[in-house]
Structure 1
Amino acid sequence: MDLSIVIPLFNEDESLPELCAWIEKVMHANNYSYEIILVDDGSTDESWNVVEQLRSVNANIKGIKFQRNYGKSAALNEGFKAAQGDVIITMDADMQDSPDEIPELRKMIIEDGFDIVSGWKKKRYDNTLTKNIPSKLFNAAARQSSGIKLHDFNCGLKAYKKKVVKSIEVYGEMHRYIPVLAKWAGFRKIGEKVVEHRARKYGVTKFGWERFVNGFLDLFSITFVGKFGKRPMHFFGLWGTLAFLFGLTVFVYLTISKFFLDKTGMTQRPLFFFAILAMIIGVQLFLAGFIGELIARNSSERNSYLIEEKVGL
């Protein structure tokens, strides 16, 4: 199969018929074998009924329905599990992504050899204050922390090699950081393509200001886990040791000062309490790292890695 089009959706019953017809037109024009995987993330409108109707007239359309709303990451993860195409395209269901971009995205994967191609909505139709400015700040922080030079991490229109989506797990709200997850898994050829951003035709946006707060929190989380997820002692142990040594040094200084210098009582000096606090925090951090190391060592994924190929085995 040439292509799998994975589309997460939530309350998009108005746009689905037009979107699927447009995708079908592009597929036939390019003679692609394809499937459209519609993942209904617990919609409360008629979206699932529309999916069933579309399936009844086009066998290439497939549907997955969640019992309740789990979020875009869960929808993408299930879509990736079901995808069978050599190239997987993800796009949003609100028709702000253009299916006409699909042939060029596929070409960049098949002919140019990219593992991932991410869309870049260079010209947007969103409100500048509430979306553009926070989005620019978010993308700048993501570029700096991940080392991946993309302008638009959160663009829903992306293309992947099949091997990429079968090698990663998208969880929480990590759909924003799929390129980072792929980079961790060893897929480093990540490209970008300027894509059309269309004005919203149906419905309203499902995301508010909280997505930027959650996005930055997830960025800190994914950066930390990427660096220290399998070696937590390297972080907690280091800072715990430094804190303990700082407290111990101050405590020794206060002891020497009490008996040989100004004879001031240790407990009468604020530094004494800072020293005790630093040593307690240091011990707690060290123990956190030790416990984390025990968990990591006993995890079933402690030696999880991908083998690209073998010869003579």
Structure 2
Amino acid sequence: MDISVVVPLYDEIESLPELTSWISRVMDDNRFTYEIILVDDGSKDGSFEMIRKLQLNNPFIKGIRFRRNYGKSAALNVGFEATNGDVVITMDADLQDSPDEIPELYRRIVEEKYDLISGWKAKRYDPLSKTIPTKLFNAATRKMSGIDNLHDFNCGLKAYRSAVVKNIEVYGEMHRYIPVLAKWAGFTKIGEQVVEHRARKYGKTKFGMSRFVNGFLDLLSIFFVGKFGKRPMHFFGMMGTLSFFTGLVITIWLVSEKLYLISHNLKYRDTTSNPLFYIALVAIILGSQLFLTGFVAELVSRNSSDRNNYQIGERI
């Protein structure tokens, strides 16, 4: 199979007929073999019933429904597991991504041997309250990840070699940083393509202001896991050692000072009345705890057995 199109959705019943018809038209015009995997993330507006109706007239449509809303990352992760195509395309269900971009994305993956092509919506139809934080996050992600050639990490329209989606795990809200996950997994040929951003035709956005806070926390998380996930002792041990020896040096200095004053019959004050004594004590205790945390982290796998265990109601 040439292409798998994965579409995560939540309450998008109005846009599904037009979206699936548009995708099929593009595929047929280019003679692609394909499948459309629609992942319903716990919709309450009858989106999955609409998927059933569309499937009657289009055998290339597949549907997956969650029992409740888990989030876009969960929908993508389950969708990736279900793909059979050589190239995987992801797009949002709100018709803001154009299926007309698919042939060029496919060509670049196949002919130019890219691992991942991320869309860049150079001209956006979003309010400033969304575009300004997005630019800040993208700049921070470029700096921390070292992927300097991407302008928009969070664009829903992306193309992947099949091996990429089968070897990364998208969880939490990490869908914003899939190019970073791909890089940490060893897929380093990552490119970008300017794509059309269309105004939303139906409904309203499902993402609130909390996504900016979550995005920042996820960025820190992915940076830590990517850099120290396989060697947590390097992080905790370094911090613990630094803290412990700082406290130790202060303690030695305080004791030496007191011994010097005693040996010269000079007036001295009790060590415990010196604020440095308590700073040294806290630094030693904190250093010991960080060091032990590093040992424990080395023993505990960062991949829990049920982190991506989602309750799927049915597959069709």
Give 1:294 shift.
2.0
CA gap 1:289/1:98 in 2 versus in 1, 3 angstroms: same
Alignment of 1:43-62 (within 5 A): 43-62=43-62
Paired with 2:31 and 2:269, the residues of 1 have a C-alpha distance of 88
**Is the contact made by 1:257 and 1:264 (CA closer than 8 Å) also made in structure 2?**
no
Deviates more, 1:266-275 or 1:255-264: 255-264
The equivalences for 1:240-255 within 5 A come to 240-255=240-255
1:184-226 deviation per Cα after TM superposition (whole angstroms, max 9, x unaligned): 1111100000000000100100111111111111010010111
Q: Any idea what the Cα deviations from partners look like across 1:51-104, whole Å, max 9, x if unmatched?
A: 000011110000000000000011001110111011100000000000000000
Contact in 1 for aligned 2:229/2:302 (Cα 8 Å): no
Partners of 2:257 and 2:303 in 1: CA distance: 47
Q: Is 2:282 the partner of 1:277?
A: yes
1:250 offset after TM fit, Å? 0.7
Indicate the larger mover: 261-270 or 62-71: 261-270
Amino acid at match of 1:131: K
**Residue aligning to 2:28:** 28
Contact 2:2/2:34 (<8 A) preserved:
yes
Q: 2:296 aligns with which of 284, 291, 294?
A: 291
* Number of the residue aligned with 1:214: 214
Q: Aligned partner of 1:280: which letter?
A: I
Work out whether residues 184 and 226 of structure 2, in 8 Å CA contact, stay in contact via their aligned partners in 1.
Answer: yes
Is the partner of 2:300 in helix, strand or coil? Answer: helix
Structure 1 Cα separation of the partners of residues 300 and 89 of structure 2: 36
Please report how far the alpha carbon of residue 35 of structure 1 lies from its aligned counterpart in structure 2 after TM superposition: 0.5
Match of residue 109 from structure 1: 109
The change in CA–CA distance for 1:208 and 1:227 in structure 2 (over 3 A counts) is same
Q: Which has the higher contact order (CA 8 A, sep 6+)?
A: 2
Q: Equivalent residue of 2:117, what SS? A: strand
Report the AA paired with residue 135 of structure 1.
T
Distance, in Å, in 2 between the alignment partners of 1:107 and 1:80 is 20
The aligned counterpart of 1:12 is: 12
Cα deviation 1:105-160 (Å, max 9, x = unaligned): 001101111010000000000001x1110000000000000011210000000000
Q: CA deviation at 1:299?
A: 9.1
- Contact in 2 for aligned 1:153/1:177 (Cα 8 Å): yes
Amino acid of the structure 2 residue aligned with 1:207 = F
Matched residue, 1:145: 144
Sequence identity, in percent?
A: 67
Superposed, 1:77-156 pairs within 5 Å as 77-128=77-128, 130-149=129-148, 150-156=150-156
Partner of 1:196: 196
* Contact in 2 for aligned 1:231/1:296 (Cα 8 Å): no
Return 85-94 or 289-298, whichever deviates more. 289-298
Distance 1:7 1:218 in 2: 22
Task: Tell me, in whole angstroms, the C-alpha distance in 2 between the residues paired with 1:295 and 1:21.
Answer: 48
SS at 1:201 equivalent: coil
Structure 1 unmatched runs, 5+:
301-313
Structure 2: 5+ residue stretches without partners:
262-266, 306-316
Please state whether the residue corresponding to 1:5 is helix, strand or coil. strand
Q: How far apart are the structure 2 equivalents of 1:85 and 1:293?
A: 37
Q: Is the 8 A contact 2:247 2:284 kept in 1?
A: yes
Indicate the SS of the match to 1:187. Answer: coil
The question of whether the paired residues in 2 share the 8 Å contact of 1:3 and 1:33 is answered with yes
- SS for the counterpart of 1:44 is coil
Q: What count of residue pairs does the alignment treat as equivalent?
A: 299
